[in-house]
Amino acid sequence: MKKSIPLFLACAALVSFAFVKPDTKTTKQINVVIDAGHGGTDFGATSSSGTEKLIVEQITTKIKFLNKNENVVIHLTRNEDKYISLSDRTAIINNIKPDLVLSLHVNQSANVAQSGMEFYVANESAASEKSILIANALRTKFTQNNTIKSSEVKKAPFFILKKSVAPAIVIELGYLSNLSDRAYLIDGKEQDKIAATIISFISELK
């Protein structure tokens, strides 16, 4: 009788394990489109030190390279110096149906004192409310991680913002016409910091 007790306990343990609910929780995959503004014959903002199209392409490439999170998939509207129309960019975005769109740009002004980052969301879009929430959180992330100043989130009727079905934000990374901003934008280490900040933010999205 004593020998049968351990056998009974072992069987009971196996039965109890059989009824334990398996852990089916999985981490959500985040899909993000990074849109490098301009390209090809469209130079965007220009200066003797660089052009908008190449600066945002460099940062976009760094974002893609720095992403080591298997749950984050980065899609690019362009990965070379090529002109892509706004309608084609939007078609790419809406075909992917991402969780977020970040369109990277560099600003320029006749007022050389004008400086700082700017964040824009659509006046009206299918995901305007969520865009505002994400843009404010991203702006906060940048103000914590970077030395360049940032204005409050603004609304604008930009084509990419209006036509994207996903939450979309245009980021003006700084003013190429401003001496301090320009030094920041063309510096490789600062570009790395911009890319790292974006990747860190994306990885925290729910």
**pLDDT tens track for 165-205:** 999 999 999 999 999 999 999 999 999 999 999 999 999 99
List C-alpha distances in Å: 16 to 3, 10, 12, 48: 21, 10, 6, 73
Tokens read off for 200: 């860190």
Residue reference for tokens 């089916």: 24
41 and 111 in contact (C-beta within 8 Å)? no
Q: What pLDDT, on the 0 to 100 scale, is given for residue 19?
A: 46
Q: For the chain, give the percent of residues with pLDDT over 70.
A: 87
Mean pLDDT calculated for residue range 60-73: 96
Residue reference for tokens 């084509």: 159
Q: What pLDDT, on the 0 to 100 scale, is given for residue 25?
A: 52
Mean pLDDT, rounded, of the chain: 89
**8 confidence band (pLDDT: 50, 70, 90):** very low
Residues 6 or more apart whose CB falls under 8 angstroms from that of 21 comprise none
